[in-house]
Amino acid sequence: MSRFIIVSNRLPITVKSENGVPMLSDSAGGLATALKGPHSKSDSLWIGWPGDISRIEKDRIHELEGKLSEKRFSPVYLSSSEVNKYYEGFSNGVIWPLYHYLVDKVQRSAWADWKAYHEVNQKFADIIASRSSGSDMIWIHDYQLSLLPGLLRKLLPNSKIGFFLHIPFPSSEVFRILPWREEILEGMLGSDLIGFHTYSYLRHFKRAVAKILGSDEDENSEGICINGRNISLGVFPIGIDVERFSSLARKDEVQNEIEGIRHENPDHKILLGVDRLDYTKGLIRRLMSFERLLEREPELRGKVKLIQVVVPSRTKVDSYEHLKKEMDELVGRINSTYGSIKSLPVHYLYRGISQEHLSALYCAADVMLVTPVRDGMNLVAKEFVASRNDENGVLILSEFAGAADELAEALIVNPYDVDRLALFMKKAILMSENEKTSRMKRLRERVFNYDAFHWTSAFVNALEKVAMPLANQPLVISSPDDFEKLFEKIKRVPEIHLFLDYDGTLVPFAETPEIAVPDKELLEIISALSVHHGIDLHLVSGRTRDTLEKWFGHFSLSLHAEHGFFSKMSPESEWIQNHHENPAWKAMLEKLLDEYTLETPGSMVERKSGGVAWHYRMSDPEMGVKQARNIRKRVDIDFQGSKVEMFNGEKVLEFRAKGVNKGAVILKTLQKNPGSSTCIAIGDDRTDEDMFAVLPPGSIGIHVGKKNTRAAFRFADIACTRLFLRKLSEL
Ligand code: GDG
């Protein structure tokens, strides 16, 4: 029976030991809250690390497991070395700073923890696979587990896998710093659906895939097509449990505490910050702005105070220890300069506080400061809004927090601009009651409508809808055993017509077409096939006659140049032109393509007799795709009625006379050889699909690579094609 499985680095509980007896307490984090609903309502399983259990006595572990299992939690135990390397090291020392654009905070020593990161992701994959029915819906969370979808896909090909990234996905310019960028992207792409908080994170991801893995960037599509699979991408901004925060704020105990906070300095305006100690949170710049406010606005001195709660975290890491020291010094400087015997401008609490206390602070604040230099979403901003049943209070929100995309009625600031942030603090303090209420009303509407439960159901519904993987997918052929099965099909046939594409099928793509010269190994394979009595060999390429002649003219085979515009059936015969249209459009088209080539660095025009091609392999991928689209639009209009056909190849836009295509080459061959109709066609791009489309029954179509195809079989790469052809020549 299939189930819903949630996977996160940490289980949403804390394990404590009371005299060696394991005790569980629920954690109130954002993720735990958001997923509490679906986890309690369904028969789901939640898999993750239960935290440090070293204090639990060995013979009590089964008791712990019983308690976990009652809550449908399934533990992944991690050793202290695994926690140090996978979690503290690679996740928090490399990915965390890099994805938050803080490249100088990347810990050089944690670079070496990649191996442990990979191993722990594999450990999660093995444990999930052992607990899965094989067709479950699995929702994986966050950057600690970015390899997991890919590893799991190999073990559970029929499961639906969703992945949500809770932190930003950075610009591809920053992401590509990572030496393991391919592995991380391929890991995430094992999913069927990948969710992000904002559209810009999604764009960055798509761009990184195009740039690093070389997929075509299709702006019109919401997803990515790679490895023969479609992966959906979506924007799902996380919400909070609004009712919990709103009702907490109404509790008597909280109301009393609000009175207490206000009573302490009744004429003071309160600015509030609540953050985990982290360099992403913009704490130093926030304090500097507050200092600037006091420096520039003497009349506010003694009338404003900043309450800053900082929750200790990652205390053993140098950069965090340094940040703590900087904070202490800055708070000391501000308080000693602007404080008085009666009051201090900064109230700095370096500890976690209770939910009730937090709620009281949210309600007592005149201004909430959420000014991270980078933050995936930031839940504090939403919790503040949900707590303000009085529709009062001003939210100052960094434009670099994901929440800024949703909470437009906040005062949106650049946290790096210390002067301006100080000005915004003043603006917020002096804001009229009317303006505060009207802004807060709108903020509350948004936060209440898109709450935690909306977030969960939006993601789960989208995951339910994504196409089931592997239906109608070509069979992957990878080993000599697999070849044997194919050979069984053709062994009894007297003659095989073998149609081979060249670029991307027999040789890898080179930066420019002229570099992709056949190597010694390939020439040996072609030579062996060409002398085989049972094989009628055809090379069907988009290349020109001259090139094919130069490289393969001396072999006993048929050459088809420019997608079949010209053919040469043997070394002795002449080239024949299969189509007799005079391409009147060609000169005009070449002129147009020359113009685009000038505007598009890295692009080039390839002139052929029957057509022309515009290559953009070497261009910036986004620009190349955009310019190709512009060219298509121009051609659609300017060449209406011309007998020109255009299509996208592998980073190339091809133009040729209508009716010329590789499929026509196969049809002509079969016409000449009625009765013996077994064909093998091997190719990698869109032009080869024309061959697969016309293959008669009993034939074999093989796509090389990772694209969607109508071929029934797939080779992973060129090495596989070559191995197959070598074995075929030995039959
Ligand atoms: C990741 C992303 C994204 C803080 N101090 C106290 C306290 N808190 C609670 C807040 C809030 C949470 O911690 C912090 O919110 P974040 O948004 O930073 O959440 P994280 O899970 O740390 O971070 C982030 C989030 O995932 C969700 O996708 O928004 O961008 O980095 O809930 O209330 N709670 C209590 N005492 C405190 O002193 N009780």
- Pocket test of ligand 1: the residue of 140, 248, 313, 379 to mutate, having most ligand atoms within 8 Å of its CB, is 379
Residue 206: the pLDDT is 93
Reduce the DSSP state of residue 681 to 3 states and report it.
strand
- Pocket test of ligand 1: the residue of 31, 238, 380 to mutate, having most ligand atoms within 8 Å of its CB, is 380
Candidates 650, 591, 590; CA nearest to 615 is 650
CA 390 to chain centroid, in Å, comes to 40
Looking at 235, 252, 281, the residue that finishes a domain is 235
Residue 117 placed within a domain: yes
357 has a pLDDT exceeding 80: yes
Average predicted confidence (pLDDT) for the chain: 91
Residue 143 placed within a domain: yes
d(CA 346, CA 291): 10
Confidence of residue 21 (pLDDT cuts 50, 70, 90): confident
Residue 469 placed within a domain: no
Q: What phi and psi, each to the nearest 5 degrees, are found at residue 659? A: 90, -10
275 CA distance to ligand 1 middle (Å): 8
- The mean pLDDT value for 138-145 works out to 97
- How confident is the model over 169-183, as pLDDT tens digits? 999 999 999 999 999
- How confident is the model over 280-297, as pLDDT tens digits? 999 999 999 999 999 999
Residue 417 placed within a domain: yes
What's the domain range around 647? Answer: 583-657
Ligand 1 atom showing the smallest separation from residue 352 Cα: 38
**What is the dihedral sign for C-alpha 322, 328, 334, 336?**
negative
Element at 116 (helix H, strand E): helix 114-131
Residue 465 placed within a domain: no
User: What percent of the chain clears pLDDT 90, i.e. is strictly above it?
Assistant: 66
Candidates 530, 575, 526, 593; CA nearest to 557 is 530
Domain of residue 598, CATH code: 3.30.70.1020
DSSP letter string, 9-25: EE-SEEEEEETTEEEEE
Residue 265: the pLDDT is 77
**Same domain assignment for residues 531 and 416:** no
**Same domain assignment for residues 415 and 523:** no
419 CA distance to ligand 1 middle (Å): 27
Confidence of residue 1 (pLDDT cuts 50, 70, 90): low
**Same domain assignment for residues 210 and 259:** no
Please state the three-class secondary structure of 449-464 as a single string. HCCHHHHHHHHHHHHH
Residue 379 placed within a domain: yes
C-beta of residue 4 within 8 angstroms of C-beta of residue 136:
yes
478 has a pLDDT exceeding 80: no
Candidates 472, 471, 477; CA nearest to 714 is 477
**Same domain assignment for residues 493 and 448:** no
- The mean pLDDT value for 56-62 works out to 85
**Same domain assignment for residues 325 and 440:** yes
d(CA 125, CA 132): 10
Residue 494 placed within a domain: yes
C-beta of residue 518 within 8 angstroms of C-beta of residue 559:
no
29 CA distance to ligand 1 middle (Å): 6
**Same domain assignment for residues 111 and 254:** no
509 has a pLDDT exceeding 90: no
**Same domain assignment for residues 292 and 420:** yes
Domain of residue 264, CATH code: 3.40.50.2000
d(CA 508, CA 505): 7
Residue 279 placed within a domain: yes
Ligand 1 environment, Cβ below 6 A: 29-30, 166-167, 238, 274, 309, 311, 352-353, 355, 358, 375-380, 383
**Same domain assignment for residues 653 and 666:** no
- The mean pLDDT value for 342-358 works out to 93
222 has a pLDDT exceeding 80: no
Domain of residue 717, CATH code: 3.40.50.1000
Q: How many domains does the chain contain in total?
A: 4
Confidence of residue 467 (pLDDT cuts 50, 70, 90): low
Please state the three-class secondary structure of 165-189 as a single string. CCCCCCCHHHHCCCCCHHHHHHHHC
Token pair for 489: 């099909």
How many other C-beta atoms lie within 10 A of the C-beta of residue 434?
A: 8
Q: Which pTM does this prediction carry? A: 0.79
From 501, 503, 536, 690, the catalytic residue:
501
Token pair for 33: 């809250």
Range name among 27-41, 70-84, 110-124, 701-715 with the lowest pLDDT average: 27-41
CA 503 to chain centroid, in Å, comes to 29
724 CA distance to ligand 1 middle (Å): 55
How many other C-beta atoms lie within 10 A of the C-beta of residue 27?
A: 14
**Amino acid sitting at position 99:** Y
Looking at 219, 235, 251, the residue that finishes a domain is 235
**Same domain assignment for residues 574 and 510:** yes
Token pair for 79: 């050793």
Q: Give the contacts of 79 (CB within 8 A, at least 6 positions apart).
A: none
Range name among 360-374, 437-451, 463-477, 501-515 with the lowest pLDDT average: 463-477
**Same domain assignment for residues 228 and 271:** no
Looking at 182, 204, 235, the residue that finishes a domain is 235
**Same domain assignment for residues 128 and 276:** no
Residue 137: the pLDDT is 93
- How confident is the model over 395-423, as pLDDT tens digits? 999 999 999 999 999 999 999 999 999 99
d(CA 73, CA 558): 64
CA distances to 139, 170, 175 from 203, in Å: 21, 10, 13
Residue 677: the pLDDT is 67
Residue 207: the pLDDT is 92
The answer to whether residue 501 is catalytic is: yes
Beta strand extents in 186-335 (DSSP E only): 193-196, 224-226, 229-235, 269-276, 304-311
* Strand pairing class (652-657; 611-615): antiparallel
**Same domain assignment for residues 489 and 388:** no
